[in-house]
A and B are shown apart, each in its own frame.
Chain A
Amino acid sequence: MTEGLTAMKRILVVEDGSTMRLFYRDVLEKAGFHVEEAANGVEGLERAMLQSFDMAIVDVNMPKMDGYEMVRHFRQEPELKSLPVITISTEADEKDAARAYAAGANFYIVKPANPDLLARVARLLTGAPT
C-alpha cells in the first residue's frame, strides 16, 4: 500500500433483514467501503458507540428499537451527533421523509434501494472519492 492512500470509509448497516444486509454489503463493498452490520436499533446504537463510522444506513422498521428512535439516540451522543445517516423505508410518503429528517437523518431512500443511488449518496455523505 502506498502512503497517502485514504483509509477506507466505514459504513454501519442497520437492518433486520439478513438478505438486505447482504445486499447493502455487496453494493457498498464494491464501491470501496468497509461495512459493519447490526440487526436492530439497539445493536446499531451499541456498534455505533463502540466503533467509529463515516456513515450509517438505517432501516426504519426494525424490532426492539426502530430506525427513527435509534437516530434520535445517535443525535444525543456527542460522538454521533454529526454522523451522516441515510434512512431507508418502504414508504414513499412525504410525511415519512419528514419523520426521518425530524429524527435527525440526512437523507431518505425508499426500498428497495437502487445500487447506483446508494453508492453515490454514500460517497457524497462520507466524502469518499468518486
Chain B
Amino acid sequence: MTSAPRQSSFAPRAPITGEEYAKFCEFFYRKTGIMFSEKKVYFVERRLNERIEKSGCEDFRAYFSILRFQASAEEWQTLVNDMTVNETYFLREDYQFDVLVGGILPEIARRRRPGDKISIWSSPCSTGEEAYSIAIHLLEHWAKADDYAIEIFGSDIDSRVLASAREGIYGERSLQRLPNGLRTKYFKKLGFDKFQIRQELRESIDFSVANIVESVDMARFRSVDVIFCRNMLIYFDDASRRQAVEMLYECMSPGGFICLGHSESMSRISSLFRPRKFGDTIVYQKAPTDD
C-alpha cells in the first residue's frame, strides 16, 4: 500500500489527557467488562480521537456526554464496533478448539452412547472459517471423533457470506495459521492465493441463514451441545442482546456449552450461564437440568 499516511485530521482540538483516557477506560470496562491492555493504548486513543472528530464533538468531555446519555446508544454502538478488530481466519483463537477437544467434548461424550449425535454451532459463521476450523481441529485432535455423529452447522444473518462459506474458497492470508500438512489434507489448491476446502468436508457442514433474535429462525436450532458465539454479542444493543442470549439458551441442550470471544465475558451479558474453567480458559455452561 503506498497511499499517503493519514494526517492528523482526526486529532481533536485538545489532545486527550491521561485522566480522560482513564475515565473512558473505566466506562468501557463497566459496560463491557473489557480492560484494554497497555499495548493497546495507541490503538484505543486513535479510535477514540476518530470518533470524537466524526461525531462533531469539540472535545472529549462533550463526546463522553453523548456516550453516557444518548438514549439510542447509537454512538456507543459505533464506538464498540470500532474498538474491536473483526478479522476472520482459520484457527483464530484456537486455544478454544483445544478446550473443545480436550475438555468440552469429553465431558459431553460421557453422557452419550457411541453413535449418538453431538452438535456444534458456529454463530455467526461469516465466511465459514470458524466452522471449518472446528471440523478440522476435531478430526485431527479428538480421538473419539469417529465414535459419534458430529453435526457442525454455521449460521449468519448475511446470505452472501454464507454463499462464500458453502463455496469454501480462501486466500493465503486466511490460511496462514494452518500447518502445511493440514493445508494439503483439507484443501485443494485452485490457483494463486486460492484454496478450496475439499468437497467431502464442505458437504459435511450445514450453513444457513438465521437471525439470532428471530424466534422463527432460532426454532430450527434445538439441543445444540456447543455454541461458538465469538465476538458477536458485544455488537448488539442492550435490548437485542438480552433477546439473543435467551434465544441461544433456548437452543442449547441442558449442560451445553457456549464459548465467547477471547476478551468477552458473560459478566456484562447474562447470569443464565455458569462459568466453567478448562485450563486457563473460561467457557459457559447451561445448567445440566433444565429449570
B267 and A18: CB pair below 8 A?
A: no
Q: Which chain B residue lies CB-closest to A43?
A: B267
Binding-face segment, A27-35, A45-53, A99-107: A45-53
Q: Which chain B residue lies CB-closest to A69?
A: B271
B271 and A50: CB pair below 8 A?
A: no
B266 within 8 A of A: yes
Known: A42-B271, A64-B270, A64-B271. A50 touches B30 (CB 8 A): no
Interface size on A, residues (CB 8 A): 14
B271 and A49: CB pair below 8 A?
A: no
A18 and B275: CB pair below 8 A?
A: no
A129 to B256 Cα, complex, angstroms: 45
From B30, B33, B267, B277, A49 is in contact (CB under 8 Å) with B277
B267 and A42: CB pair below 8 A?
A: yes
From B30, B270, B282, A39 is in contact (CB under 8 Å) with B30
- B116-150 vs A, CB cutoff 8 Å, 1 = contact: the mask equals 00000000000000000000000000000000000
Q: Is the interface of A mostly helix, strand, loop or mixed?
A: helix
Q: Which chain B residue lies CB-closest to A77?
A: B277
Which residues of chain B in 27-50 are interfacial with respect to chain A, using CB atoms and an 8 Å cutoff? 29-30, 33
A41 to B266 Cα, complex, angstroms: 11
> Please, which residues of chain A bring their CB within 8 A of the CB of B282?
46, 49-50
A43 to B31 Cα, complex, angstroms: 12
A42 to B266 Cα, complex, angstroms: 7
A49 to B266 Cα, complex, angstroms: 14
A113 within 8 A of B: no
A81 to B33 Cα, complex, angstroms: 25
A128 within 8 A of B: no
A9 within 8 A of B: no
A49 and B29: CB pair below 8 A?
A: no
Question: Smallest CB–CB gap between B203 and chain A, Å?
Answer: 39
A42 and B265: CB pair below 8 A?
A: yes
> Please, which residues of chain A bring their CB within 8 A of the CB of B26?
18
B280 within 8 A of A: yes
Known: A50-B280, A64-B267. A43 touches B274 (CB 8 A): no
Known: A18-B26, A43-B33, A50-B282. A73 touches B267 (CB 8 A): no
A42 and B275: CB pair below 8 A?
A: yes
A65 and B265: CB pair below 8 A?
A: no
Residues of B within 8 A of A (CB): 26, 29-30, 33, 265-268, 270-271, 274-275, 277, 280, 282
- Across the A-B interface, give the 10 residue pairs with the lowest CB-CB distance, nearest first: A43-B267, A42-B267, A49-B277, A64-B271, A46-B275, A65-B271, A46-B282, A45-B275, A40-B267, A42-B266
- Can you spell out 13 A-B residue pairs with CB atoms less than 8 angstroms apart? A18-B26, A18-B30, A42-B265, A42-B267, A42-B271, A42-B275, A43-B33, A46-B275, A49-B275, A49-B277, A64-B267, A64-B270, A65-B271
Given contact pairs A39-B30, A46-B267, enumerate 9 new A-B contacts (beta carbons under 8 Å): A39-B29, A40-B268, A42-B271, A42-B275, A49-B277, A50-B277, A50-B282, A64-B267, A73-B274
